Amino acid sequence: MRAPITSLASLQRARRLAGSPRRRSSGVVSVELALLTPLLLGLSLPIYDVARNIQAQMILINVSREGANLASRASTVFPMQTIMNSLTATTPPLNMTSNGMIYITEIMGNNNCDANGNNCTGIVIGQWRWNNGGYHPSSGLWNCGGGGTSWATDGSGACNGIPSAGTNSPAVQTLKGQLSDGQIAYVVEAFYSQPQLIAPMALGRGVTTPSLSSNLYAMTVF
């Protein structure tokens, strides 16, 4: 017996019916991808911000460590601005010119306590700030600008008007009780304002995603 002859139209209709489930499946996947893409981006961008903050913090730690080392060894040979310029040349991808700052503070041990027990140790005898930094947070150690002090305008970045070592010198808590009389230490502070790619997101019912601090800081004493 001959096999039944199938018309061309029947074959085409059968092929369309056979292919339709695949087309429907492809459409479902496209919809799912469109729904999940914003969620995936919402999860990945904060992770990227965290990674950028960790990288920036590690760079600042290295800058403060190397800066304290150089200040203690080379401050009598090179100007502080030269040292700070050398440090910031090693900081890419950070944009220290726009978002960074470095302070170098020279402190000295002083055992000449006054009647109230102040100024026993850790007095400021010098401070410098990086001239090329566009970010100007306050030093966490001591701030030039009060008590007759002011920032120099000669390009040195030095604080002028700091009293000579004595009971009138500005006192700091760093290394308090650990410096002998006349011993010198340098404190290097590195600051950076890290722009965040994504702001905290409101999830509803008063719940928001955690926010990262944009203000990064590292300090080393040598």
Write down how long the chain is: 222
Q: Please say if the pLDDT value at position 140 is more than 90.
A: yes
Q: Is residue 188 part of a domain?
A: yes
Q: What integer pLDDT is reported at residue 30 of this predicted model?
A: 67
Q: What integer pLDDT is reported at residue 178 of this predicted model?
A: 77
Answer for the pair 192, 60: CB distance below 8 angstroms, yes or no. yes
List pLDDT tens digits, range 6-60: 565 665 555 555 555 555 555 555 666 666 666 666 566 667 788 889 999 999 9
Q: What integer pLDDT is reported at residue 41 of this predicted model?
A: 60
In the 3-class helix/strand/coil scheme, how is the chain assigned residue by residue? CCCCCCCHHHHHHHHHHHHHHHHHHHHHHHHHHHHHHHHHHHHHHHHHHHHHHHHHHHHHHHHHHHHHHHHHHHCCCCCHHHHHHHHHCCCCCCCHHHHEEEEEEEEECCCCCCCCCCCCCCEEEEEEECCCCCCCCCCCCCCCCCCCCEECCCCCCEEECCCCCCCCCCECCCCCCCCCCCCEEEEEEEEEECCCCCCCCEEECCEECCCCCCEEEEEEEC
Q: Is residue 211 part of a domain?
A: no
Rounded to whole angstroms, how far apart are CA atoms 126 and 106?
Answer: 5
Per-residue pLDDT band at 166 (split at 50, 70, 90) = confident
- Over range 158-174, report the average pLDDT: 87
What does DSSP say about strands 184-193 and 207-208: parallel, antiparallel, or unpaired? unpaired
Q: Please say if the pLDDT value at position 112 is more than 70.
A: no
Q: Is residue 217 part of a domain?
A: no
What distances in angstroms separate CA 62 from CA 77, 121, 207, one per listed residue?
A: 22, 27, 37
pTM for the model: 0.76
26/155: higher pLDDT:
155
Q: What integer pLDDT is reported at residue 176 of this predicted model?
A: 75
Q: What integer pLDDT is reported at residue 172 of this predicted model?
A: 87
Q: Is residue 206 part of a domain?
A: no
Q: Is residue 44 part of a domain?
A: no
Q: What integer pLDDT is reported at residue 134 of this predicted model?
A: 93
For residue 160, the enclosing domain spans 52-198
203/179: higher pLDDT:
179
What distances in angstroms separate CA 112 from CA 23, 109, 123, 125, 187, one per listed residue?
A: 87, 9, 11, 15, 22
Q: Is residue 72 part of a domain?
A: yes
What is the share, in percent, of the chain residues with pLDDT greater than 70?
69
Tokens of 189: 């502070």
Q: Is residue 70 part of a domain?
A: yes
Q: Is residue 153 part of a domain?
A: yes
Per-residue pLDDT band at 169 (split at 50, 70, 90) = confident
Q: What integer pLDDT is reported at residue 110 of this predicted model?
A: 79
Cis peptide before 93, with omega less than 30 degrees from 0?
Answer: yes
Among 156, 157, 180, 160, residue whose Cα is nearest residue 107: 180
The total domain count for the chain is 1
For the ranges 8-17, 107-116, 190-199, which has the lowest average pLDDT? 8-17
Q: Report the mean per-residue pLDDT for the chain.
A: 82
